[in-house]
Amino acid sequence: MKLTDIHRVPYGSQNITFALEYSPRKTLAIEIHPDSSIIVKAPIDATIESIEAKIVRRATWIARQQRQFAKYAPPLPAPECISGEGYRYLGRQYRLKLIASQIDKILLWQGRLEVNTPTPFDRDKVEKSIANWFRGRATIVFDERYHYCTQLVSPHDIQGNKFELRTMSKCWGSCTPKGKIFLHPLLIGAPKDCIDYVIIHELCHLQFPNHSTSFYQLLESILPDWHQRKDRLNSQVELRK
Ligand SMILES: [Zn+2]
């Protein structure tokens, strides 16, 4: 017959709680189970003091075993929502909502960025899928805005080539001497009129590669309110790599 009893032994500022089983055996054994529970199997004649002393001596090992199990623990059901994380899309703020699901799917819905994923606790993977999703949206939206902006600048004899997404540390947009335009994918957080401002600014560089007076005259003639758009852009989205 096994006698199981629950015990607690103080260790540091905490207690180590363990189930104690006496049985006809010669040595004491400590087992850590996947749910972090501790089972101590002791010889029938072992004193509680000697058992507790042994547990305290093995405390570091016990904690390590428990951490190992925690690492490989099956995923818990996902929380309804991890609050505090905001994502900006076209000038509006969305809260992240993680949903455990068999399929991978991301959508913007009622002020939330809904991430359906089989691995809601894998933060790296979730972050990567979100970044990919935003990149995909950036490609579609910037394509539409680029088309619109090239029409605005065409009366000024400016013809835009294709653009590419590029994560830059200091600018939302840039253009090469050969006329290729790069747009920062995080610009998707800004309202459309701010995205247009960045695109038109870069398109104007196709005619004036510097920030000369002629450049600003051209920019002003196409977008008289470019100053306000620029201020709004800087107040809404933060440039980062
Ligand atoms: Zn410039």
Last residue of a domain, one of 71, 98, 124: 71
Do 129 and 142 lie in a common domain?
Answer: no
- Phi/psi of residue 159, each to 5°? -120, 115
Ligand 1 centroid vs 136 CA: distance in angstroms? 25
Ligand 1 centroid vs 202 CA: distance in angstroms? 6
Ligand 1 centroid vs 206 CA: distance in angstroms? 10
Ligand 1 centroid vs 204 CA: distance in angstroms? 8
The parent domain of residue 39 ranges over 3-71
Q: Are 171 and 189 in contact (CB under 8 A)?
A: no
Residue in the block written with tokens 């899928």 = 129
Q: Which two tokens stand for residue 36?
A: 């972090």
Ligand 1 centroid vs 208 CA: distance in angstroms? 9
Of 214, 185, 189, 177, nearest in space to 108 by CA: 189
Do 160 and 179 lie in a common domain?
Answer: yes
Of 29, 36, 30, nearest in space to 63 by CA: 36
Ligand 1 centroid vs 147 CA: distance in angstroms? 20
Distance, in Å, from the CA atom of 15 to the CA atom of 215, rounded to the nearest integer, reads 71
Residue-level pLDDT at 38: 85
Ligand 1 centroid vs 197 CA: distance in angstroms? 11
Residue-level pLDDT at 15: 83
Ligand 1 centroid vs 174 CA: distance in angstroms? 7
Residue-level pLDDT at 234: 86
In a domain, 77, yes or no: no
Do 62 and 100 lie in a common domain?
Answer: no
In this structure, are strands 14-23 and 38-43 parallel, antiparallel, or unpaired?
A: parallel
Decide: helix, strand or coil at residue 17. Answer: strand
Ligand 1 centroid vs 163 CA: distance in angstroms? 15
Ligand 1 centroid vs 171 CA: distance in angstroms? 9
Ligand 1 centroid vs 201 CA: distance in angstroms? 6
Do 50 and 102 lie in a common domain?
Answer: no
Do 129 and 148 lie in a common domain?
Answer: no
Residue by residue, pLDDT tens for the chain (241 residues) are 444 677 888 888 888 888 888 888 899 999 887 767 788 999 989 999 999 999 999 999 998 888 887 776 554 333 333 434 688 999 998 988 888 888 889 999 888 999 998 888 888 888 899 999 999 999 999 999 999 999 999 999 998 888 999 998 888 999 888 888 999 999 999 999 999 999 999 999 999 989 999 999 999 999 999 999 999 998 877 776 5
Do 155 and 194 lie in a common domain?
Answer: yes
Residue-level pLDDT at 39: 85
| Three-state secondary structure readout of 155-187 | HHCCCCCCEEECCCCCCCEEECCCCCEEECHHH
Ligand 1 centroid vs 207 CA: distance in angstroms? 11
In a domain, 48, yes or no: yes
In a domain, 40, yes or no: yes
Does the pTM surpass 0.75? The reply is no
Do 47 and 128 lie in a common domain?
Answer: no
Q: Are 75 and 100 in contact (CB under 8 A)?
A: yes
Q: Which amino acid is at 238?
A: E
Residue-level pLDDT at 22: 84
Ligand 1 centroid vs 164 CA: distance in angstroms? 17
- The sign one gets for the Cα dihedral 67, 69, 70, 71 is positive
Q: Which two tokens stand for residue 118?
A: 């089989």
Q: 191: burial class by Cβ within 10 Å (0-12, 13-18, 19+)?
A: middle
